[in-house]
Structure 1
Amino acid sequence: MKPHRYEEFRDLHRAGAPLLLPNAWDHASAAALATAGFRAVGTTSLGVAAAAGLPDGTGATRAETVRLARGLSRLDALVSVDIEGGFSECPEEVAALAAELADAGIVGVNIEDGRPDGTLRDLSHQCEILRAVRESVAGGLFVNARTDTYWLPGAGQAPETGERLDAYRRAGADGVFVPGLRDLRIISELTSGLTDTPLNTLHAPEGPSVPELAEAGVRRVSCGSLLFRAALGAAVAAARSLSVSADIPSYAETQALAGAFA
């Protein structure tokens, strides 16, 4: 664990100037983002899963996630890893995974409460998992507790969101994450009740702008799977037209990503 890196990452979650966190799906995409000047880079569970030919959100990509994380720890960047729901229902096993990632040099993890069957994990059990993780990595890993109240069909949304965020904060989460939430009024209400716990939202092209989210109190804006999906779309478009953007990396530049941070 490297407490100074944890502290640096934590301090990037600023009021009025939220951390814009791009999400990578492999070593090359993360290295490209770091080379472009992004100090912090996240991973996208959808991108990691789809790139491996596996489904997202089902706990099927533990090995791929850990392997990628170990490689990304070589980068000169602060890396936060999406570990879905922790790849286990056992708090001790999730805590052991978090400690393994922290020891490898990872500075943050996302842990979600959405389950593969489309329901939310029991609140008390999710808090038990968060407490176990917090105890295993005290001061060395930024724990971002995600609730899927606005992500899963039919979930509780506004009333339950506040209850879960408060419980996760009290269980030791460094930050809280509500993907799918775009209502600035509700965002403002949530941030006003979170005191010093940063709220993370997911960027959506059709949603509020980063300045609007900052005004509402958001301190971190993630890209999620957006970049991965954009890359897929660009690849198909380039194949169809045999035309590419003028700023596409050269062969040599791309090759250099593999060893630039070794």
Structure 2
Amino acid sequence: MTSSLIHPTAIVAPGAQLAADVAVGPYSIIGEHVSIGAGSIVGPHCVIDGHTRIGANNNFYRFCSIGGMPQDKKYAGEPTCLEIGDGNTVREYVTINTGTVQDVGTTRLGDDNWIMAYVHIAHDCQIGSHTVIANSVQLAGHIHIDDWAIVGGLSASHQFVRIGAHTMIGGTSSIRQDIPPYIIGAGDPFRPVGINSEGLSRRGFSAETIGVLKDAYKLLYRRQLSVEQAVEQMAELQQQHPESHQAVQVLVDFLKASTRGIARAQ
């Protein structure tokens, strides 16, 4: 492939599929099973390989390693995948691996995510959209992060952990169990301290709904209830506040699906 936007020192495999306006910087390497959508930029010294499909308007800064094989001793060369959506910013030295056949076989990153320098996203992670993953966050395999979550710098997450939507995790946290939606907290181990009220307000949640979510938080963390008992009482909240039913339902569904247990206040 020849293009005025591809630097002469870059190596683009013949099988790679790049939109006409994709820019590739000096000394970058694009593998034969890679596709990259319109408006995307690959900075200098990047490697993008594996069975990797990248959408439009993504920006990969220098020295990224995208689509490398999973760091899993069980991996035997299967053609697993990486899928990246649109409008993501991926900063320096980020590594994102493909999936494994022990899971769905595909690592996924949604749209409009801000992935800061030195982040590692391991095999089979499923990252939603509009997240912020700060510098040097380390995500082990099979982790799910829902939309609008913020993970502070130097935090590390155990395999199979789920992080709910609209959470805000402080820097240097150790995440060993699931973190329900809307929660704010930090620590080693992670300790919840309340509802991410400011973040929810910025995203258009009404004051009434934020108040109801605070009540749901109290049921979960302040009333000495089991998760099952808290979920039962959340149903009553939903009946009392139908305008907030869906917001509470997101929390209820997360709690019912949790298999690792949720992070608790210490």
Alignment TM-score > 0.5, same fold: no
* Bigger helix fraction: 1
Larger Cα-atom Rg: 2
TM-score by length of 1: 0.25
Larger RCO, structure (CA 8 Å, separation 6 or more) = 1
